[in-house]
Each structure stands twice: as structure tokens, then as C-alpha cells.
Amino acid sequence: MRLMGKNVVVTGGAGLIGSYLVDCLVERGARVVVADDFSKGRRNNLAGVIDRITIREGDLEQAAAMARALDGAEIVFHLASRAYGIGYSSQNHLALLAHNERITNNLLDALAARPAGHLLVCSSSCVYPDDGPDTVAELPVFCGEPEQANWGYGWAKRLLEQKAALVAQATAMPLTIVRPFNIYGERYRWIDAASQAIPMLVKKVMDGDDPVVVWGSGTQRRNYMHAADCAAAIAAVVEAGFVGTVNIGTEDTVSMLGLIEMICRLAGRRARIVTDPSRPEGRRIKSCDATLLRKVYPGLEACMPLEQGLSRMIDWHAAEFGTVASG
């Protein structure tokens, strides 16, 4: 599908993944509207394209703001979501479900009345159950309970997927569902204890915490992808005209302990590492079966190596907190 000249709306377009997606879409010649309330996203994330996009600021939990955001949209990339790290998510299931449901219902009410030419919704690997295979392919959305540590958020994403499928079917609107795994990047906005794992660990190491405390056993393994690569994959699957559900991530995993050691090495820091098994760690291994994604998006092979991304996160720490990284 040609993106050149298309009226494209990116909800959550000022956020971590959304802002890189906006960069990709502008580069392809799309006319981009960013709909965001800047609760977590930042204008600064859009600095490189600010004179080539339109911003519609508003809280998409309000129906009127959603209707205004989607006005004239030919393609909708829906990324806006209240999404936090495991520390917040594991304690606030109902609030996360309720926030995200309001956004979902407003989006789909608006699109049921006036469908777009294509809808992409951003779900999450948190829809998958904890007892699934370590390397997860695109399982059906209702299959056991979603990830326990992200139970409310996981249900919100399952409902987003299912409701979007119903509206797509009723309106004959092509629908793409993407399920990113763990995404990180230097456009991350620090939100204290609610922050996600990589920014949290980078901050601990760079702040000189001694010991650095890791939640759970520290042996839990995750796949990490830089947000720029995730955004490139999202743009590419829509550009390829892909309709259906696809994971975004790769099979590679690293343990939390391995991650800290890598951050220390890259930053030239030393730290004792202590695990706290009383804290949630989520599932043991969460790796992405990217077989389908590779077929739709061969560019996946050129993803940023984790070490390079972590070096960028060390620079992020300096910019975010005004410190100087050593090493």
C-alpha cells in the first residue's frame, strides 16, 4: 500500500514507538496527524519532523477528542495506551483495563461510524499466557489467561484486538494487529517506579546504586528490540498490505543479570548485583517467534544490536537526568 500523500493518523504519536513511526511515515511522504495528550509522549520526540506534521492534542479517553483526532484519516495507526512497567502494572490491573478500554471504545465507535481505509492496532505480547511456549508464535488471542504480571493490561489488549476485529468485519475495513514484545529506546520518558525494565536498570547502574537490585531471580529472559526497529516494522507491515496478526520482536533473549552486566561493561561501571525474589519477575522466558514477521518484513534482519541500543540508553540517562556517563 502506498503511504505517499495519504492522510495518516498516529494515536500516541509523541510516545516512544509512535514518534519513530511518525518519522518513518513522514519519510515515506505521508501527511501525518499526531493525536496525543502528552501524558507520556513529548513534543521533543517529534523535533525532527515538527514542521511537517499536524498535532491534535487531546485526551483520547474523551470521545470528542478521539473524533477530532480521526477526522479525515485514511490510515489509522493506533498506539495510544496507558502502558507502564511491571512495578505499576502488577498493582493496577483494574485501572489499566479501565483506561485502555475507554480509549479502545472511543476509537472503535468512531471507526464504526466512519471506517478508515486501513486500521493498525498496537496490541502486546502480554496477551500471551504465562504457560505458553518460551518462543511464542501468533497464538489465538483468547488462549488461557494473559500474562499474570500484566493481567489488566493484557486483558485490555485482548479486548482491543477482539473489538477491532468485529468493527473491521462489520465495516470491511482492513485490519492489522501487531504484538510487540519488549521495546526500549532513548525517547523513553522516565516515570519513576512505573518505568520499564531497561530504563530502570540503566538508571540504577548510572546512579551508582550498590548493590543493583534486580526483581525476581534475575534469570528471567526477554527479547528486546529498539523502538526505531519496532516502528520500521509497523510501517512496513502496513505498507506491505498485510492484514492479520503479527508479532514484533525476535527470538534472541537476554537475562536481567546479563543485561546489567552488559550495561556495566558499556558504561565502565562496577556494581554488585542482588536479586529480590519477593518482587514480580513475570514469565521465565519470553522470546518472539518472528517467522511470520520476517516473511512480511525482510528488513527485520538489520535490527539494531542490543549493545548499540544500550549505549544509546546510557546517553539517554545523561540527557534525562543531566549526568555525565563515564567509560
Q: Cβ of residue 13: shortest distance to ligand NAD, in angstroms?
A: 7
Least Å from the CB of residue 225 to ligand NAD = 8
Give yes or no for a contact between 132 and 92, defined as CB atoms under 8 angstroms apart.
no
214 binds ligand NAD (CB under 6 A): no
Q: Which of residues 153-192 bind ligand NAD (CB under 6 A)?
A: 180, 182-183
- State which residue, 64 or 274, has the beta carbon closest to ligand NAD: 64
**Residue from 3, 6, 61, 263 in contact with ligand NAD (CB under 6 A):** 61
User: For residue 32, which of 80, 81, 72, 79 has the smallest C-alpha distance?
Assistant: 72
Q: Nearest distance from residue 1's CB to ligand NAD, in Å?
A: 21
Shortest Å distance, C-beta 150 to ligand NAD? 10
**Does 282 interact with ligand NAD (rule: CB under 6 A)?**
no
Closest CA to 230 of 184, 198, 174: 184
CB nearer to ligand NAD: give 57 or 261.
57
Residue 266, CA distances (Å) to 33, 65, 93, 196 in order: 38, 44, 35, 20
DSSP letter string, 228-280: HHHHHHHHHHHHTT--EEEEES-S--EEHHHHHHHHHHHHT----EEEETTS-
Of 6, 82, 222, 269, the residue at the interface with ligand NAD (CB under 6 A) is: 82
- Applying CB under 6 A, which of residues 10, 25, 53, 60 lies at the interface with ligand NAD? 60
Tell me the CA end-to-end span of the chain in Å, nearest whole number.
45
What is the contact mask toward ligand NAD in residues 9 to 28, using x (rule: CB under 6 A)?
Answer: ---x-xxxxx----------
Per CB under 6 A, 79 contacts ligand NAD: yes
Give the number of C-alpha atoms closer than 13 A to the C-alpha of residue 66, restricted to the C-beta side: 22
Q: Which residues pair with 35 in a beta bridge?
A: 11, 56
For residue 92, state whether it binds ligand NAD (rule: CB under 6 A): no
CA triple 58-59-64, angle to 5 deg? 75
- Interface residues with ligand NAD (CB under 6 A)? 12, 14-18, 36-41, 59-61, 79-83, 103, 122, 124, 180, 182-183
